[in-house]
Amino acid sequence: MDYYVDIHLRPDPDFAPEMLMGALYNKLHRALFGLQAADVGASFPGYKHGVRARTLGNHLRLHGTQARLQQLMSADWLTGMRDHTQVSEVTTVPTNAQHINVARKQFNTGSESRAKRYAKRHNISDEEARKIYAKVAARRIELPFVQINSRSTQQRFSLFIEHRKPQKNSVAGAFNHYGLSSNATVPWF
């Protein structure tokens, strides 16, 4: 993870930044899936969490080796987004950078299908299960998310993203096709 590429969203009067980031991130997922890349990490320098302030911001940073990032950026995955983005060159990470884990966080959101499965597993009525799950659904999630169309399952879902605390040392590991990892870190600066 010695190199990075910055992608900034340009202001657009017709599209909210969240919508543009969602489109950009879906395109990144398709590109990483197509390359079967497990060595590209993503971070969001404008990331904020909190019930009222949650946002990924307007800045996506991709991390990897120089060769992998050049391969990714030479692919045509930004088609349709070029007017909405400003893309940097592949650049060396600053030597004093800290490191951070950026991971997917899954929540039990109290969906109808989950309530039905719970009722069946615990031999209770659907109504009782819905009441139990209503409490879960009322919880306020503080993490930002994007709506993703999974390339592997063809499902659409909310991908919640968590930036954990910065640390001095890097942790090596694999990244999924969303550029996220449960344990590996990316440079944070």
Quick check: is 8 catalytic? Answer: no
Q: What is the pLDDT, as a whole number, of residue 108?
A: 67
Cα separation, 7 vs 188, whole angstroms: 15
| pTM score of the predicted model | 0.84
Secondary structure (H, E, C), 55-93: ECCCEEEEEECHHHHHHHHHCCCCCCCHHHEEECCCEEC
Rg of the chain (C-alpha set): 18
- As a whole number, mean pLDDT of residues 21-46 equals 97
CATH number of 3-107+141-188: 3.30.70.2540
Sequence spans of domains, the chain: 3-107+141-188
Q: What is the pLDDT of residues 95-115, one digit of tens each?
A: 999 999 999 998 766 667 778
Catalytic residue among 8, 29, 49, 63, which?
Answer: 29
Cα separation, 30 vs 111, whole angstroms: 27
To 10 degrees, what angle do helices 126-138 and 112-122 make?
A: 130
Sign, CA torsion 147/177/35/175: positive
Residues whose CB is less than 8 angstroms from the CB of residue 76 and which lie 6 or more positions away in sequence, other chains included: none
